[in-house]
Structure formats: structure tokens, C-alpha cells
Amino acid sequence: MTGLVAAERGVGETVVVDALPEFVVVAFAAVTHLADPWFLFALLALGYWFAGDGVAGAPRRAGATAIAAVTCAYAATAVAKAWFAVSRPPGAMPPADVPTWLPALLSGWYEAQVLSDGFGFPSGHATGGAAAYLALALLYDRFWTDRARYLAAGGVAVAVAASRVVIEVHYLVDVLAGLAVGAGTVGVALWLAGDPRVRRSTGTETGADPTAELNPAPAFLLAAVVSTGALAVAVAGGHTGEVVEAGIGIATGAGGAVGWRFVDGDEPAVPVRVAAPALAVTGGLWVGAYALAGTLPVTLLATTVAVVAVVALPALPARIGATSGARN
């Protein structure tokens, strides 16, 4: 809703950023990749497929819940961006001020990082990064110590948020809102999934495994519902880019819920011989979904199929084995 968040919402951060050495800005342009949507979903998918008992008591349930939590975070971002519809800082608009000392191969990369269109509040990178790394720290609770996981998650999330301000594609308030939204949606997603630590149920008793009974399906469905709301807001406002993002959110949420129906939740890690071609296929579908963003039905279909495949994959080896056994 125009007016609730001002278009000129800076608090002096631009002056600080402009005083930074160019090499610092280039370094932060690289840091921002740690919360690119493609990177986060690849990271979450690989964790979901390969994590073992040394990482979480129920690694498949934990991994799928982490994916669902981040899907909810992106859905919330889509609603907010379409609702507030405020612009990014002037620095996000062309032309880009590319350091002259950067090699030619890196100049194009840098320009792509520091130029960004679409709406600016809240920051999608800050939201997604906070949600992803907090979810991983909470759900993969057998990896490192609690303190080490939380410090690492917080450090990466804050670094990503800072990078968006340093490369001048967001104001400080955008990334602070993103961090808050990301953390909040993780709490909601874990509550819906039945995490006893959030629900404060008897599952928190000493020795109990908080991931043993997680069910990510409700969180996936919430993401689809919220994305549907984002779609309605975007269509009403005539925001074409946000229509596509909302559509992808609907497909991701619905695809995750459908894919989880094929999974028992106690499957072993996915064999590399299965995961490698699956990653190539699902990655191709994901890239294709964005490349064909002008054809929304194709984008929705490609996204849905990719997410169903990612979430259902742990059940595939057993089903193949059962089919082979029946034939023999």
C-alpha cells in the first residue's frame, strides 16, 4: 500500500557506502550470491537429499521442512513487494559504475549484481537468506554445536543483508525488514510442521528428537495460499514481475506438498547415481521456468514438476527396487 513505506527511506547509509573502497564493494557483490534463490534452493535440495543421521535425527523431514520454510519466506516477500510497491535506491538503476580495474570477464558479472529492477521492500535476498540459514541451523541440530550453528547462520544472513546495502540495490530498512520476515516465517513454518520446540509440547522432553515427527506439507500449503494472495495483489496493481514471482510461489508450495505425499520421511540418503541426473533435470526445469517467464502457464508447469521431483526423489530408489523385485 503506497504511503506506508516511503520511496525515499534511506537513513544516510548511501553516504557510508559511497566512502567504501571499490574492492570492498566488489567483495560484497560476491557475498550476495549466498542468498540468490537458485543457490539457496540448490543448497536446500542437496541437504535434503544427502544429509545423514549425523546431521539430524530425521534428515529427510528436517530437509523438506527447511525447503518449506524458505518457500513461505519467499511467499511473504512476494506479498509485501506487491503490496508496498516502492522503488529501489537510485544506485540500482543503470548505468553501473564498474571499477576500471576489474577484468573484462568480471565486468559483466559485477554489472549484473549491482543493477536490479523490481520493487525494493523488503529485500528478497535478506528474507531468503535469514530463512534458509536459520532453518538449517535449527533443523540440522546434530551438526556442530548449537552456538556454532546459530553464529554461522546469523553471520551469513547479516553478511548477505549488508551486501544488498553495500551494492546499493536496497536501503537499510529493506534488509532489516527482510531479516525479520525471514526469521518470522521460519517460526511459523516450524509450528505448522509440528516442531515441538516451537509448539512447546511434550516432544521437548530430554532426549526427544524434535525432527522425528515433522510434516512439511502444511507449510508448503501455506506458501501456496500466501502466494495466491500475492498474485491477487500483483494483478490488481498491474505489477507484471510480481505476478510471475507469485505464480512461481504457488507452484513451489503446491509442488512441495504433492511431492511430500510420495515420501515416508525415513528414507536413507539419495544415491549419487540417482541425484546427479535428477539435479540436472530439475535444475534445467527451474532455469527454464524463469527463462520462460513471459509464458506464465509454462513457468508454473515447469516449476511444479521440478519441485515435485526434488521433494519426491528420496522415495524413488525404493520404488524402483520394489518394481524390479515384482518383475523378477
Distance, C-alpha 61 to centroid of its chain: 17
Regions of the chain short of the pLDDT cut 70: 1-3, 201-207, 290, 292-294, 319-328
Supply the pTM of this predicted model. Answer: 0.94
How much is the pLDDT for 320? 64
> Of 271, 180, 260, nearest to 224 (Cα)?
260
Which amino acid is present at 299? T
Our separate counts of H helices and E strands in the chain read 14, 0
How much is the pLDDT for 114? 94
The sign of the CA dihedral 141, 142, 143, 146 is positive
How much is the pLDDT for 135? 98
Question: pLDDT tens-digit profile of 295-328?
Answer: 778 888 889 999 999 999 999 887 665 555 555 5
Contacts of 112 (CB under 8 A, 6+ apart): none
Contacts of 143 (CB under 8 A, 6+ apart): 54, 55, 56, 149
How much is the pLDDT for 203? 47
